[in-house]
C-alpha cells in the first residue's frame, strides 16, 4: 500500500477555477499531489479555466469528474445522474488524455445519499466519489463511493490538529490524510500564507506517500 509506506496524503479541489494555477504552483513547490474535479460544460465560464488550458494546467496531477453542469445530484432523477457523470467522464477523459476514474459530488452541505451513490456504482465507471462531509480522521474507508474527506483546507484548526496527529503516527495499519476545498477560498483573509504553512509542514517526509486520489484510493 502507498508504495510500501503506511501513511499517505492527498488533496481534492473542485470547480476548475483560475486560482487552481496558483495552488498547483504551491503543490509543485512542495511535491504534493492533487485531484481536480471539473465540470466540462462550465469550463471558461466566470473564473473557470478554459478548455484549451485544461490539459497543460493539470499536468502532473489528476483530473476527475464533478458532473457536466454542477447540479445537486440528490435533486436529479436516475437518468440525469447517469448523464451528468458519464457525460463529464467522457469529456474529461478526452481532454486529459487518460481514463478518468473518480469524482467529487457537486454542491455544498450534504450533497449525496446512498441511493445516488448506488446509481453511480451500477451505471458508471466511477471507482471513488468524494463527499463534502469531513471525517476529521485518517482511517481508511470501505465505501469509496461515499468517501468522506478528512478535513476542509480552510478549517485551519482541524487541519493543523489532524496534521500534527498524523505526523506523530507510527501506524500498524495504513492511514490516509485527505484534504479538500476550492482554491478560490484561499483568496480570503490570509489563507494562502496559512495554507502554505500547512504544505511546508506536511511535505517531504520519508514515511509519507504523496499521491493523487486514484493513486492512494485504488492501489
Which residues would be at the binding site for Zn ion (CB under 5 A)?
Answer: 14-15, 106
Q: How far is the CB of 4 from Zn ion (least distance, A)?
A: 34
Asked if 19 and 49 count as a contact pair (C-beta separation under 8 A), the reply is no
Of 132 and 209, CB closest to Zn ion? 132
Q: How far is the CB of 205 from Zn ion (least distance, A)?
A: 30
Of 103 and 138, CB closest to Zn ion? 103
Q: How far is the CB of 145 from Zn ion (least distance, A)?
A: 17
Of 14 and 62, CB closest to Zn ion? 14
Q: Which three cell numbers stand for residue 145?
A: 463511493
Of 160 and 184, CB closest to Zn ion? 184
Q: How far is the CB of 171 from Zn ion (least distance, A)?
A: 32
Amino acid at each position: 500500500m502507498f508504495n510500501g509506506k503506511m501513511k499517505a496524503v492527498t488533496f481534492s479541489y473542485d470547480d476548475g477555477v483560475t486560482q487552481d494555477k496558483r495552488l498547483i504552483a504551491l503543490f509543485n513547490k512542495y511535491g504534493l499531489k492533487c485531484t481536480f474535479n471539473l465540470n466540462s460544460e462550465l469550463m471558461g465560464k466566470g473564473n473557470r479555466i478554459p478548455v484549451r488550458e485544461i490539459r497543460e494546467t493539470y499536468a502532473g496531477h489528476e483530473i476527475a469528474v464533478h458532473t457536466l453542469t454542477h447540479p445537486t445530484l440528490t435533486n436529479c432523477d436516475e437518468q440525469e445522474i447517469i448523464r451528468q457523470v458519464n457525460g463529464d467522464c467522457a469529456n474529461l477523459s478526452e481532454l486529459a488524455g487518460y481514463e478518468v476514474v473518480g469524482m467529487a459530488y457537486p454542491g455544498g452541505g450534504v450533497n449525496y445519499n446512498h441511493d445516488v451513490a448506488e446509481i453511480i456504482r451500477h451505471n458508471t465507471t466511477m471507482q471513488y466519489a468524494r463527499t463534502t462531509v469531513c471525517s476529521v480522521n485518517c482511517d481508511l474507508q470501505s465505501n469509496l463511493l461515499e468517501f468522506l474527506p478528512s478535513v476542509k483546507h480552510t478549517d485551519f484548526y482541524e487541519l493543523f490538529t489532524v496534521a500534527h496527529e498524523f505526523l506523530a503516527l507510527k501506524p500498524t495499519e495504513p492511514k490516509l490524510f485527505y484534504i479538500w476545498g476550492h482554491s478560490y477560498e484561499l483568496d480570503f483573509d490570509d489563507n494562502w500564507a496559512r495554507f502554505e504553512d500547512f504544505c511546508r509542514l506536511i511535505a517531504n517526509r520519508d514515511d509519507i506517500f504523496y499521491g493523487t486520489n486514484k493513486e492512494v484510493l485504488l492501489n
